Chain A
Amino acid sequence: MKRLLLSVIICVLFVSFADAQSKKKKKGSTSYNIKAKEEQKFLEKQWWLGLKVGTNLTSATIKTPYSSVVPTNYDPSFGKKKYGSFNKLGSQVAFEVSFYFKKFAISIQPTYQHSRLMYTNQYLWSDEEDGTNTLMLNYEQELKMDYAVIPLLIKFDLTETKLRPYVQAGGFGAFMISADKSLKISGVDNASGGVNNFTNEPINVVATNLYAGHYWGLAGGAGVNYFQGNVKFNLDILYQYGMTNVSSPENRYSNGMLASVGDAQDDMTLNNIVISVGCLFPLRFLGSGFKSVDK
């Protein structure tokens, strides 16, 4: 709850910041086209619009683990899921709108984000009387999630050079679009007269309803802009720290194909490293030849 309140406060600050900029703009709106001496003031303000693409890596923080397999005579930790951490490349495309003022910018970046996450677990059955009789099953699950992510960030330019590094912080809301899950079961059967390594046909299911409709989180990162002519080229690294559960508790066992073989969705939050490149165009204060007056 404290984290929620903190985040709400951050959002309110965003709104206040934007509102303050609005009032300032109205105050000066009658004069900035008249007085050239105030041009420099206008140069400090700019709307930027652009497109960014890139890749992302995902990890999960498990709040409560779930499984439909319930051990009755062995330690549940044996079948515990082992999640991969930032080891599956995803992709994203974002549309960025930002308002720049005196080294600060407020930026919103509606993003279509495709993320991937994997985990493994295993089960073992053995014969008490004949230790060579064993069956090991290895489960490898991959989650593919498509979200509409809306980060709202404040950026601060560290320099005013042509190559301009910045830091950024804010929050984001993520809205589930669709999700798929695949489960590959392989194993080693030592109880059929030899060593039998086998791999079953993978189970692929649409898993959208296993997820909550939306979640939110905090975001922070850094990047660099390179100004070239009217446009600025951007390299951006953002860490998205999920704050709320991405799973749907109501539908945890609703996919019979997965639940029947032991798989159930954990309660978890997602963390993403999002790396993007893009270019942004100025929307206002263009001079002759469509040159930005601040260049």
Chain B
Amino acid sequence: MIRFFQFISLVVVFVMVSCSDDTNPRLDEQSFTKLYDNNKFNSSYTPIDIKQTADKGYIIVASRVLKESNYRGIYLMKVDSKGNFIKEVEVDPMYVNPVAKFMGLQDEFYFFCMMELSQATQLVKISSDLESIEFSEVGKRYPFAGNMDGNSFVLSTYDDFNKLSEISLVNSSGGILATKSFSIGVGEDIEEPIINHFIKGGTQLPFSVGRIPGGAYYFNGFYNYTFSLVFTDFVAEDPTGVVQGQQEGGGLSAIMPIAANKFAAARFNFGDNFIIPNATLSSSSITSSVNLGGNTFPELVPNAHVRIIHASINSKNILIYASDTKSSQIGLYFYDESTGAFIASEYLGFSNPFEIASLIQTEDEGLVVCGTTNMAGRFPRPTLFKLSKEKLKAIIN
């Protein structure tokens, strides 16, 4: 019995030694869920994109409701590596309609927006601490989307005077290096979904722009009466290739080039959603998105917003799709990048509704998912989910 007491004493000593009462800052950085609340009844913030800064914190670009404008205003927020709020900026309401992507170049961050009155496109440069915000006018109107192209940017815009979809190369000062324009078609009706896209409360279409690595440029937008993926080399007057949609009712909802003609894509078709993790798209011929097939996802909301990133998890190349489910969660779908095989899914958010804005792989090989939640079921607010490296490993294994 005495030995029993000795054994128990040793157990107690072990428990004492093995317990830690210290909060671990590293763990606080590795995973968190944050809902950024503003107590103003009429405030409404909808994140668009997120970037990680050199200090391991994050900057969120969001739109905000402007009572006095038909457009959406700009809201910027900086949080630290643990998701703690650092600073917010409600940008002057003369600047409206911020668009993805939010781009990093050296130590500065950029995105495109437009002037409320003139609809002139602006290149916005912000510092990582949000202390500096500079605007450079780009000689275009109605920006749809932006993306990086080396040390410059590729920009998709709308020329409402001539009813043209435009793609431009822009330097970091806002100067236009090259432009190509393509007709959206003739007639008033074709312009309506574009105008609705810009007006607050209107249906948001999945405009995007980018470049196949070392290859053709592309934009996802209106061309020849349909919402299409249009390829150009900035030389030929006509597109080098087109993946046609079905007017504004069908087309590609997200696209990410992997190599040459290989893409990770998603498409929508009159409410239905399809994920195509291993799509082959020709940048030199005319095809139709309907023929791409894909895995149907009836759990997603009609014409769902879809985001795709490449991630390296446990030394594997993974495609992560994020989208909005009918159960008001953010669904994450993991695919093998080389084969397109489905690996796993993960759902974020319960109780209150959640919608995807963007996702990025972080410096610590975790994943940050940025979205919108409706606090108390009614107030749109930015939200962040940080998934740790270990969590991602567990998901794909």
Show the binding face of A for B, using Cβ within 8 Å.
4, 7-8, 11-12, 14-15, 18-19, 21-22, 25, 47, 63-64, 68-74, 97, 99, 106, 108, 123-129, 133-135, 137, 150, 152, 171-173, 175, 187, 191, 203, 212, 214-216, 243-245, 249-250, 252-254, 256-257, 259-262, 264, 267, 269
Is B339 in the interface zone, CB < 8 Å from A?
Answer: no
Contact A72 B37 (CB under 8 A): yes
Stretch binding the partner chain, chosen from B23-31, B97-105, B125-133, B183-191: B23-31
Contact A253 B33 (CB under 8 A): yes
Given A15-B10, A173-B11: A63 touches B21 (CB 8 Å cut-off): yes
A124 partner, pick from B39, B42, B352, beta carbons under 8 A: B39
Contact with A along B179-215 (1 / 0, CB 8 A): 0000000000000000000000000000000000000
Dominant SS among interface residues on chain A: mixed
Closest Cβ of chain B to A281, distance in Å, is: 15
Contact A171 B21 (CB under 8 A): no
Pairs A–B under 8 Å by Cβ, sample size 27: A4-B17, A8-B13, A15-B6, A18-B6, A22-B2, A69-B37, A71-B85, A72-B36, A72-B38, A72-B85, A73-B40, A125-B375, A127-B42, A137-B376, A152-B9, A171-B12, A173-B11, A175-B15, A214-B19, A216-B12, A216-B19, A244-B20, A245-B20, A249-B28, A252-B27, A253-B31, A257-B351
Residues of B within 8 A of A152 (CB): 5, 8-9, 12
Closest Cβ of chain A to B197, distance in Å, is: 28
Residues of A within 8 A of B348 (CB): 256
Beyond contacts A69-B34, A73-B40: 19 other A-B pairs, Cβ-Cβ < 8 A, are: A11-B13, A22-B3, A25-B2, A63-B23, A71-B38, A108-B8, A125-B375, A125-B379, A128-B42, A173-B11, A216-B15, A245-B20, A245-B23, A250-B27, A256-B347, A256-B350, A260-B351, A261-B350, A261-B352
Given A47-B1, A68-B34, A260-B351: A215 touches B23 (CB 8 Å cut-off): no
Given A68-B32, A152-B8, A249-B27: A125 touches B351 (CB 8 Å cut-off): no
Contact A18 B9 (CB under 8 A): yes
Closest Cβ of chain A to B142, distance in Å, is: 30
Contact B28 A73 (CB under 8 A): no
Contact B36 A11 (CB under 8 A): no
What is the bound-complex CA distance between A71 and B37, given in angstroms? 5
Given A68-B33, A99-B5: A212 touches B19 (CB 8 Å cut-off): yes
Given A173-B15, A173-B16: A14 touches B351 (CB 8 Å cut-off): no
Contact A70 B83 (CB under 8 A): yes
Residues of A within 8 A of B153 (CB): none
Residue ID in chain B nearest A79 by CB atoms: B37
Contact A4 B5 (CB under 8 A): no
Closest Cβ of chain A to B12, distance in Å, is: 5
Residues of A within 8 A of B17 (CB): 4, 8
Residues of A within 8 A of B21 (CB): 63, 243-245, 267, 269
Closest Cβ of chain A to B86, distance in Å, is: 10
Residues of A within 8 A of B33 (CB): 68, 253, 256, 259-260, 264
Residue ID in chain A nearest B87 by CB atoms: A72
Show the binding face of B for A, using Cβ within 8 Å.
1-6, 8-13, 15-24, 27-28, 30-42, 77, 79, 83-85, 88, 347-352, 354, 373, 375-376, 378-379
Most chain B CB inside 10 Å of its own CB: which residue of A70, A108, A173: A70
Contact A171 B19 (CB under 8 A): no
Contact A68 B35 (CB under 8 A): yes
What is the bound-complex CA distance between A129 and B40, given in angstroms? 10
Closest Cβ of chain A to B161, distance in Å, is: 38
Residues of B within 8 A of A262 (CB): 35
Residues of A within 8 A of B85 (CB): 70-72
Residues of A within 8 A of B11 (CB): 150, 173
Residues of B within 8 A of A245 (CB): 19-23
Contact B351 A203 (CB under 8 A): yes
Closest Cβ of chain B to A284, distance in Å, is: 10
Most chain B CB inside 10 Å of its own CB: which residue of A14, A125, A257, A267: A125
Q: Lowest 5 A-B CB distances belong to which pairs?
A: A173-B15, A244-B19, A127-B41, A22-B2, A259-B33
Residue ID in chain B nearest A108 by CB atoms: B8
Contact B20 A123 (CB under 8 A): no
Residues of B within 8 A of A11 (CB): 9, 12-13, 16
What is the bound-complex CA distance between A133 and B39, given in angstroms? 12
What is the bound-complex CA distance between A8 and B256, given in angstroms? 58
Residues of A within 8 A of B9 (CB): 11-12, 14-15, 18, 152
Contact B39 A73 (CB under 8 A): yes
Contact A260 B41 (CB under 8 A): no
Residue ID in chain B nearest A137 by CB atoms: B376
Given A70-B37, A123-B37, A260-B350: A173 touches B20 (CB 8 Å cut-off): no
What is the bound-complex CA distance between A151 and B294, given in angstroms? 61
Given A14-B9, A64-B23, A125-B39: A135 touches B15 (CB 8 Å cut-off): no
B84 partner, pick from A4, A70, A124, A137, beta carbons under 8 A: A70
Residues of A within 8 A of B23 (CB): 63-64, 245, 249, 267
Closest Cβ of chain A to B27, distance in Å, is: 4
Contact B16 A125 (CB under 8 A): no
What is the bound-complex CA distance between A137 and B30, given in angstroms? 30
Closest Cβ of chain A to B319, distance in Å, is: 23
Contact B5 A108 (CB under 8 A): yes
Residues of A within 8 A of B32 (CB): 68, 252-253
Residues of A within 8 A of B6 (CB): 15, 18-19
Closest Cβ of chain A to B8, distance in Å, is: 5
Residues of B within 8 A of A125 (CB): 39-41, 375-376, 379
Given A15-B9, A99-B1, A128-B42: A70 touches B15 (CB 8 Å cut-off): no
Closest Cβ of chain A to B390, distance in Å, is: 8
Given A22-B2, A125-B379: A173 touches B12 (CB 8 Å cut-off): yes
What is the bound-complex CA distance between A22 and B3, given in angstroms? 9
Residues of B within 8 A of A191 (CB): 41
What is the bound-complex CA distance between A16 and B11, given in angstroms? 15
Given A260-B351, A260-B373: A249 touches B42 (CB 8 Å cut-off): no
Residue ID in chain B nearest A26 by CB atoms: B2
Contact A261 B351 (CB under 8 A): yes
